[in-house]
Amino acid sequence: MYIWKFLEHKGPYFPPEYQPLPDNVKFFYDGKAVKLSLAAEEVALFFAQMLDHEYTTKEVFRNNFLKDWRKEMTLEERMLITDLNKCDFGELHAMHKQKVEARKNLSKEEKQINKEANQKILEEFGYCMLDHHRERIGNFKIEPPGLFRGRGDHPKQGMLKKRIQPEDVIINCSRNSHIPEPPTGHKWKEVRHDNTVTWLASWTENVQGSCKYVMLNANSKLKGEKDWEKYEVARKLKSCVDAIRSQYQEDLKSKQMGTRQRAVALYFIDKLALRAGNEKEEGETADTVGCCSLRVEHITLHDALDGETCVVEFDFLGKDCIRYYNKVPVSKRVFKNLKLFMENKQEGDDLFDRLNTNMLNKHLTSLMPGLTAKVFRTYNASITLQQQLKGLSNSSDNVAEKLLSYNRANRAVAVLCNHQRAPPKTFEQSMASLQAKIESRKEQLELAKKELKLAKKEAKGSSDSKLLVMLEKKKKTVQRCEEQLLKMEVQATDREENKQIALSTSKLNYLDPRISVAWCKNMEVPLDKVYNKTLRDKFAWAIDMTEPDFVF
């Protein structure tokens, strides 16, 4: 736990007040123009702004929205507006699109003015003093009101996320600091001085009833130290992972059903990098699971499949409703246990009915201080990167090839952790255009080669300096063409392999930065080819301390 001595800040930044619609923009109900009250109008605009989004076609979203919208209406409005299908938000939607367009078309000067205004806000609200250090705050802006966008089949999608007032906000700072002023005419909910926590402000969000926090940026000393600790714990696991693996292999044979379930779960967490899988409140969130919350319908057991025996087929939605699909051959012992766990159960029943994340983590902490389920993800991700980099990269490669190797190593981790993304909307198109470029470059290369041949012929036996210079020039052209072609082909491969895979999450959260920093040093690849500005800031601690011989 981090105990601070001094914390001072300006409080969170509030979003602008709602600006009422101009008189010429009208909302229609059942074909008739209706002037809405301010509160109802604001919420109507939230919906209108989202009309191009698939959300607004979903039954659950529409129902939740209408229900919450009606709560904001006057009695009169509520009497009238009962059917969302009779609502015409067309003019509101058009106005919104127009505004977006207008902002895009702002002149350079106007954009610059906006930028400077934002800079000023950042300067005033975006920093705090923590124990003599001026630190960037991560999210100093209060989340603006809007419609809740839950992921997947979220039962609360479309509900109104209410505007946060200063009266909802708890401020945390030093007793002897300059206490932040609430916006004029307002009061804070509370000002407290709790130096055992790291948040500067908090409020309760109305859709799920959970807390939201204003916290420091990832580049702060406090966050950096915590990050370093996280990787040190993962490195410690490296030294005892063999013993832990032997232990759970033994536990697969235990007389205790609970112990065997724990062993199988641990095997999944270790081998497949599954998340712990806490229990969730039914009906409050989308139906997603992790290891401990797997249900019998999420796995299928195959005695034999595709020439392999004892295959477990996983198919479930994990965090953020990302599908996990995998067919994994397992040992006979694991397989037999799974069969047993599935016996006499039906759809909806827990696979591990004698296990939860708390018990699992209690057990893990007893094996190694600080060890929890998620440490396995960090450990396996980092060790995989290190092994892959070792196997894939050659110091004789050029930078483009080295980077392809790095990305492939990174990709192996992303696949392990199941970090996916929606394929970019323009993917096919951009792939085709890159391919076209490659083709044209190939033609260019052929041409250059022909010319080189010709020049060679001409220069043969001749000592005419002009011809020799020409020859050299042609050689250079061919070489340059070849390099560019290779670079493009490498890029095409990289992009194709990356279609549905997100590298950023593992880079940001799972891969010990010292592995990457050391690799860059050893391979003589500039660090900024691998880490952008944000990452270099976040991992400043690693960049400072890492020697080329670092081993995770």
Partner DNA sequence: GGCGGGACTTAGAATTATGACG
Partner DNA sequence: CGTCATAATTCTAAGTCCCGCC
- Tracing tokens 């396995």 back to the chain, one arrives at 376
Show contacts with DNA in window 151-190 (CB under 7 A).
151-152, 154, 161
Phi-psi bin for 31: left (phi > 0), alpha (psi -120 to 50), beta?
left
Among 175-183, 200-208, 328-336, 474-482, which window interacts with DNA (CB under 7 A)? 200-208
State the Cα–Cα distance between residues 386 and 408, nearest whole angstrom.
12
For the beta carbon of residue 261, count every other beta carbon within 10 angstroms.
26
For the beta carbon of residue 392, count every other beta carbon within 10 angstroms.
17
DSSP readout, 489-520? Answer: HHHHHHHHHTTTB--HHHHHHTS-HHHHHHHH
Exposure pattern of 133-157 as b/e (b: 16+ CB <10 Å)?
eebbbbbbebeebbbbebeeebebb
Contact by Cβ (8 Å): 147, 160: yes
State the Cα–Cα distance between residues 187 and 172, nearest whole angstrom.
14
Show contacts with DNA in window 112-131 (CB under 7 A).
115, 118
Is 276 near DNA (CB under 7 A)? yes
- Tracing tokens 């996280």 back to the chain, one arrives at 230
Site string for DNA, 416-445 (x = CB under 7 A): -xxxxxx-x-x--xx--xx-----------
Show contacts with DNA in window 453-482 (CB under 7 A).
none
Among 4-12, 317-325, 471-479, 519-527, which window interacts with DNA (CB under 7 A)? 317-325
Show contacts with DNA in window 335-394 (CB under 7 A).
356-359, 361, 365, 372-375, 377-378
Strands across the sheet containing 32-34: 32-34, 27-29, 87-88
Show contacts with DNA in window 128-157 (CB under 7 A).
138-139, 141, 143-144, 146, 148-152, 154
Is residue 248 flagged as an active site residue? no
Among 40-48, 72-80, 203-211, 340-348, which window interacts with DNA (CB under 7 A)? 203-211
Is 302 near DNA (CB under 7 A)? no
Is 285 near DNA (CB under 7 A)? yes
Is 257 near DNA (CB under 7 A)? no
Report the DSSP pairing between strands 201-204 and 87-88: unpaired
Contact by Cβ (8 Å): 545, 226: no
State the Cα–Cα distance between residues 146 and 72, nearest whole angstrom.
13
Q: Return the number of the residue (214 or 448) whose C-beta is nearest DNA.
A: 214
Show contacts with DNA in window 11-30 (CB under 7 A).
none
Q: Among 93, 223, 408, 441, which residue sits at the site for DNA (rule: CB under 7 A)?
A: 223
Q: Among 62, 78, 189, 230, which residue sits at the site for DNA (rule: CB under 7 A)?
A: 230
Q: Burial-class residue 401 by CB neighbours within 10 Å (0-12, 13-18, 19+).
A: middle
Q: Among 131, 168, 205, 489, which residue sits at the site for DNA (rule: CB under 7 A)?
A: 205
Single out the catalytic residue among 127, 231, 248, 510. 510
CB of 30 to DNA, least distance (A): 30
Q: Return the number of the residue (75 or 422) whose C-beta is nearest DNA.
A: 422
Q: Among 278, 309, 394, 493, which residue sits at the site for DNA (rule: CB under 7 A)?
A: 278
Size of the site for DNA (CB under 7 A): 88
- Report residue 505 as tokens: 């999450």
State the Cα–Cα distance between residues 387 and 29, nearest whole angstrom.
63
Q: Among 63, 177, 208, 247, which residue sits at the site for DNA (rule: CB under 7 A)?
A: 208
Q: Return the number of the residue (150 or 182) whose C-beta is nearest DNA.
A: 150
Show contacts with DNA in window 83-112 (CB under 7 A).
111
Is 197 near DNA (CB under 7 A)? yes
CB of 76 to DNA, least distance (A): 30
State the Cα–Cα distance between residues 355 and 342, nearest whole angstrom.
14
User: Which ranges of 425-464 does DSSP label H, i.e. alpha helix?
Assistant: 427-459
Show contacts with DNA in window 64-83 (CB under 7 A).
none
Is 329 near DNA (CB under 7 A)? no
Show contacts with DNA in window 498-517 (CB under 7 A).
502, 504-506, 508-510
Active-site annotation, residues:
510
